[in-house]
Structure 1
Amino acid sequence: MSAAPTPAGPLGPHLHLHLEPEERKRRELGLTRRDFGSRDRFFAAHRTDRADRSRIQPGDLRRFLADVHGEQRAQGADYVELRLSPRRFLLDGMTWQEFTDTAQRVLGPLHDPVVTAVLLVNRNSPEAFIGEVTDRLGSLPRVFVGLDIAGDELAHPDVRPFVPLARAAADAGLGCTVHAGEFGPAEHVWRAVDLLGARRIGHGLSSATSPALLRRMARDAILTEVSLTSNLALGAVAAPGEHPLPALLAAGVPVAFNADVPLHSGRTLPEELALAAALLGTGPAHIHALQSRARAHRFPPRRPPG
């Protein structure tokens, strides 16, 4: 599949982007690039209990956040929502206050593009940690605009332990997105929508297997965060022509294109848009229009806590 050119100028919002702090740290240390050729290897490499995990310090986090801003500006994104997982930073010795204050101090003043934060909580999180995060959501600084439930949905399909967290997020004015239907069945997407109140779905590939779910997502304008390259790289989709993107669009489900884990995949946002154009057999202007419409699905700013 050849890559079609993307239009000049701003490319719209980038709503599903991970910080990838360990990969950034490994690159700084001159370590070899890790190969994520399968779902199992990807999730194994992201386990926080690995003895060989590269530790991240507060100074690293400040630098990495600033780096993301520069990268996204260079790529033409005009708004970014960046996924940040507090658990890994706390395990590396940061306090919750250091983590949230760093995010606010670095991201808060940024513009061209604005970069906001989405708090990521992994499906394998201990109950005590989920409870701790639930209690802290109301005091998050303003730069945090959303909550993401992410991780290995096949190993941890039950989202009921996250219902109080999702409710607290809604009460705190945070939007909710859930990684679901990437490797698991459409039922996982139904649960994300019905139990957690998700307004966006990360990947959501299996949604296309359920006409009723597609109708629900179209009716309620539940956006699918599409990441073509990572879906192919991790084996969630066997070939570009098998990606359900055309079915999502035909059903009227809103979509946004995203690089997801660009350091792992080697794909930038402009390249993702070009890949989408090639997959759909359309011009870059059509893809740019779809991406621009996704702006309506940004998580809105919150009032300062307190």
Structure 2
Amino acid sequence: MGEDATEEDRLNVLPHLHLHLEPERRKRAQLGLRNAARHRNSAAAFFASHDVRNRTRLPVTRDDLGAFIRAIHAEQRREQVDYAELRLSPRRFLLDGLPLEEFLHTAHAAMQPLEGPTIRGILLVNRDSDEEFLEQCTARLGDLPTTFVGVDLAGDESRHSDITAFRGLFTAARALGLGVTVHAGEFGDLDGIWRALDELGAQRLGHALAAARSPALLERLRDDEVLIEVSLSSNLALGAVTSVALHPVRVFLDAGIPVSFNTDIPMESRSTLPGELALAAELLGLTTEEVVAVQREAARFVFRTSAC
């Protein structure tokens, strides 16, 4: 969507704002290997299986990166999505020999021609990233291809709650006009959400389940129009909530906080965006059309550059 898109244009868009590449699962599928076991109700096992130091992980290549992006585009088209933002973490590709510059160029080359839906990238850094990697990413921000529209911080909050090391990268990203979203409050505490807002400048939050416990934080999110990226199936699959009925999305909506519905890790949770919207409708006692209207309203919060 261009900067000159009208409000009416944006509200006709069905966006998908929180979606991960899932290279390990896609590589297994590509090779015809049996899918790894789902990590139901076990966030620790999920994060361990995605640790780049995991010796059992499959190597990935430049060609894989392009193929995975094109596969996601086909999936999003089938789900009738108009615009998707894809979280792209370069670390495992770098460890398998692909330089950061080539990672960015390859992702851009794959995303740039795609239409129906448009795919845009969000550069994802993990909470356990080392200083050298963060410096490398920060140095590249000014030369990011135009298909990259934001940055994200993800990973295991319970083990890596200190975000001090990421301030420089996120300050640089904001100065360049990149969007900022942060995974916070999924498995971490309220302090992690406050710090994501105050120290990293988060404009959107991934999950933010803990925010439902704080009237002051709910008020802050409402007043600042910080969108919460809700992922019902993913939160259930990893045990962040024990049942969908206990998910706080109703609290967010009742507080006047904007939300979007997302699959997050669809190969892990075996979810689709239409499935998420139907699940939300059932949970909230709304019609599918009413939930779709909420999702279309979230198009106001897509991250854009002048070239998008």
TM-score, scaled relative to structure 1: 0.94
| Of 172, 180, 183, the match for 2:184 | 180
Matched, 1:33 2:32: no
The answer as to 2:22 corresponding to 1:20 is: yes
Distance 1:141 1:11 in 2: 23
Deviations 1:19-74 (A, max 9, x none): 11111001122222222121011000000011111111111111111111111011
Cα distance between partner residues in 2 of 1:208 and 1:229: 18
Q: How many residues align?
A: 295
Structure-1 separation of matches of 2:254 and 2:190: 17
The answer to whether residue 234 in structure 2 is matched with residue 230 in structure 1 is: yes
User: Runs (4+) of structure 1 moved beyond 3 Å?
Assistant: none
Alignment of 1:136-215 (within 5 A): 136-215=140-219
Structural RMSD (CA)? 1.2
The answer on whether the counterparts of 1:254 and 1:294 sit within 8 Å (CA) in structure 2 is: yes
Give distance in 1, aligned partners of 2:169 and 2:45: 28
Question: Which residue of 57, 78, 84 corresponds with 2:88?
Answer: 84
Q: Deviations over 1:95-149 (max 9, x none)?
A: 1121111111110111111100000000000011111111111111100000000
Task: Kindly provide the CA deviation profile for residues 204-243 of structure 1, in whole angstroms up to 9, marking residues without a partner as x.
Answer: 0001000000000000000000000010011100111111
Give unpaired runs (5+ residues) of structure 1: 1-9
Shift of 1:302: 4.3
Specify the alignment match of 1:289 in structure 2: 293
Counterparts of 1:259-298 in structure 2, within 5 Å, are 259-298=263-302
Structure 2 CA distance for aligned equivalents of residues 32 and 180 of structure 1:
32
**CA–CA distance in structure 2, aligned partners of residues 30 and 44 of structure 1:** 23
State whether residues 233 and 265 of structure 1, in contact with CA within 8 Å, keep that contact through their aligned partners in structure 2.
yes
Identity of aligned residues (%): 51
Q: Is the 8 A contact 2:189 2:210 kept in 1?
A: yes
Distance 1:11 1:128 in 2: 39
Counterpart-to-counterpart distance in 1, 2:306 and 2:180: 13
Q: Deviations over 1:244-282 (max 9, x none)?
A: 010000000100000000011110000000000011011
Supply the distance in 2 between the matched residues of 1:241 and 1:66 (Cα, whole angstroms): 34
| Matched position secondary structure for 2:240 | coil
Q: In the aligned structure 2, how far is the partner of 1:188 from the partner of 1:97?
A: 31
Of 63, 66, 78, the residue aligned with 1:59 is 63
Q: Is the 8 A contact 1:11 1:270 kept in 2?
A: no
Q: Distance in 1 between matches of 2:60 and 2:13?
A: 31
Is the Cα–Cα contact under 8 Å of residues 169 and 176 in structure 1 kept in the other structure? Answer: yes
SS of equivalent residue, structure 2 residue 82 = strand
Tell me the amino acid that sits aligned with residue 92 of structure 1. Answer: D
Q: Is residue 62–residue 103 contact of structure 1 (8 Å, CA) maintained in 2?
A: yes
Partner of 1:100: 104
Distance in 2, matches of 1:266 and 1:54, equals: 21
8 Å contact from structure 1 (residues 14, 81) kept in 2: yes
Distance (whole Å) between structure 1 residues aligned to residue 307 and residue 201 of structure 2: 21
Residue 254 of structure 1: aligned partner: 258
- Which letter maps to 1:73? R
SS for the counterpart of 1:275 is helix
- Hey, what's the Cα distance between the residues in 2 that align with 1:171 and 1:108? 24
Of 45, 57, 73, the match for 2:77: 73
Query: What TM-score does the superposition give when structure 2 sets the normalisation length?
Result: 0.94
| Partner Cα distance (1:19, 1:218) in 2 | 30
